[in-house]
Amino acid sequence: MAADRFDYTAPEICFMSSNAWDARAASHFGFQMAWVNRFGQPPEHMPGGPAAEITTLEELPPLLDL
């Protein structure tokens, strides 16, 4: 729905989540995905993978060139 609503393709959207399942599903769909791994969890064994893995949202601005 996000791609349709904002008229972007999936690879043009960055999805962020601390929930590993949601993050992997978004990546598998085609979103650029930043996993906010706040608790140092091991990666899930599912399709997809993060474009970036961060531990806090403070690490996000440099990833977005802000």
In the chain, domain spans: 2-39+49-59
Q: What angle do CA 40, 26, 50 make, to 5 degrees?
A: 40
User: Confidence class of residue 9 from pLDDT cuts 50, 70 and 90?
Assistant: very high
Residue 36: its H or E element: strand 32-36
Q: What pLDDT shows up at residue 64? A: 80
CA separation for the pair 2, 65 (Å, rounded): 22
62 pLDDT above the threshold of 80:
yes
Provide mean pLDDT across the span 5-19.
91
- What's residue 60's pLDDT? 87
Read off the pLDDT of residues 17-29 as tens digits, 9 standing for 90 and up: 999 889 889 999 9
